[in-house]
Amino acid sequence: MPATDRLPRGVRIGYGSGSVATGAFATVPGLMLLPYLTDSLGIAALAAGVIVFAPKAWDVILNPIAGRISDRTVDPRGPRRPWLLRAGIALAIGFALLFAAPDMSTLAEAAWVLVLFLACATAYAFFQVPYVSMPAEITDSYDERTRLMTWRVAILAFTIMLAGASAPAIRNAVGGRDGYRVMGVVMAVIIVVGVVSAYVGTRRAPVAAPQPGAGSLRDQLRIVATADDFRHLLTTFVVQALATGCMLAGVDYLATDVLGRKGAATVLFLCFVGPALLLTPVWTAIGTRVGKKRGYVAASLVLAAGALLVATARSAPLWVVFAATVLVGIGYAGCQVFPMAMLPDAAAVDARRTGSNRAGVYTGVWTAGETLGLALGPGVFAMVLAIGGYRSSTDGDVVQPDSALTAITLGFSVLPALLIILSLLWLRRYSLDAAHVDVPTPTEEIP
């Protein structure tokens, strides 16, 4: 079925629903896994940081391979959709087990988390890479990809709000390690909903016949590495993913230790995602008016300004911290819409130039970079905790030194803000716009 300029609304919503799975998995481990290790299993901050990072580092290697495999998959349902179902179900099962470690020695419990998180990361690679590859193949339109990402980011924002707010609430309501176990099962169910919805919802998506490039994976990666615009965009996104990973890892610590209110983690997520959910269409309109690159720069500056304002958390009234989080959420919405709409542009330009479809390889490299950034975020935050003298425990009931509180605050605010600003150095070099991407195609519009 040929790619078209305009997609049916059902396909947009169906595709966007896959963000229920990606959003839940990207959010909850980033938010809950480090506190689970340090404050429930009693694992030292540095060791916990290694456990969180190692499986994600594996994904950096695996994602381009998953992209190459999906590029070469031959199936009546298309090259991408079968992987959504296979890997998505495996991801949900692994996630349910991740927080369900039985009572064992600390070393055995650490090994349990490491192995299960590695399994989850592997399944996630084979879901996420085919999923993110699809927009480059189901529409040729520069603006339609932005509209497609609007649905995806809106659903992603809703999922972050649902998962990010409910996960700590479930843990606190049940209490103790059982709270983590129940939370893991609930999040696994949410992942299944997203997986099945994406698989069913994209059954009518027009997909161009794959024409994988010749040569080995190494040859394909070498070609992708020569795409300057893609490389600059990827670097920007990876540095920003690192900043996001730091903030996600710090939410629970900021709420509990700095603000002194465990329930504040849920409020922070509502403040963060509520505006993002409402204003995603606004960022889309801005991008249509001024271009994706300028819109991306504006969103990044808004996010950085909000993060800097959180630096006052130890002395400012609570409402200031929440208002700053709202500002972060407004910027974050744009920082998801624009790069996700720019990625398929880069892949499509390459396909038109070479006649070979490398969308899976492009996406594999992209998601590997995103995974690396999101994985390094908690690891870097764990290092900041260790430098600040953070005290681990098995019940979370420990008075932290003043240096640890300062480390939590700076790791959540100033460090991410500086990373966001730094990322713009690479974004300045990105040059693709509608004139480079859109080409006349003799296709019919789908009502």
Residues in the chain: 447
Which pLDDT belongs to residue 408? 93
CA 57 to chain centre: 15
Residue 4, strand partner residues: 139
The answer for residues whose C-beta is within 8 angstroms of residue 334's C-beta and 6 or more apart is 283, 286, 295, 296, 298, 299, 300, 302, 303
pTM: predicted TM-score of the whole model, two decimal places:
0.69
**pLDDT (tens place) for every residue of the chain, 447 residues total:** 444 457 777 788 888 888 899 889 988 887 888 889 988 888 888 888 889 888 878 877 888 888 878 877 777 777 788 899 999 999 999 999 999 988 889 899 999 999 999 999 999 989 988 888 787 777 767 677 777 777 787 788 788 778 888 898 899 899 888 999 999 999 999 999 999 998 988 887 776 555 555 445 566 566 666 778 888 898 999 999 999 889 888 888 898 888 887 778 778 877 877 776 778 788 888 988 888 899 999 999 999 999 999 999 988 899 999 999 999 989 988 898 888 888 877 777 766 766 665 666 777 777 778 778 877 888 889 889 989 988 877 666 678 889 999 999 999 999 999 999 999 999 998 887 765 555 444 333 333
Contact 239, 45 (CB under 8 A): no
Closest CA to 286 of 270, 302, 273: 302
Which pLDDT belongs to residue 124? 92
The answer for residues whose C-beta is within 8 angstroms of residue 52's C-beta and 6 or more apart is 29, 33, 34, 37, 117, 249, 375, 378, 379, 382
Scan for tokens 């730091």, then name that residue: 246
CA 330 to chain centre: 16
The domains of the chain are located at 9-205+216-436
Contact 379, 25 (CB under 8 A): no
Q: Is CATH 1.10.3720.10 correct for 9-205+216-436?
A: no
Contact 351, 14 (CB under 8 A): no
Contact 141, 438 (CB under 8 A): yes
The answer for residues whose C-beta is within 8 angstroms of residue 403's C-beta and 6 or more apart is 388, 389
Which pLDDT belongs to residue 157? 77
* Residue 406 structure tokens: 């300062």
Contact 357, 306 (CB under 8 A): no
Q: Give the helix, strand, coil percentages of the chain, each rounded to 5.
A: 80, 0, 20
* Residue 238 structure tokens: 């990876």
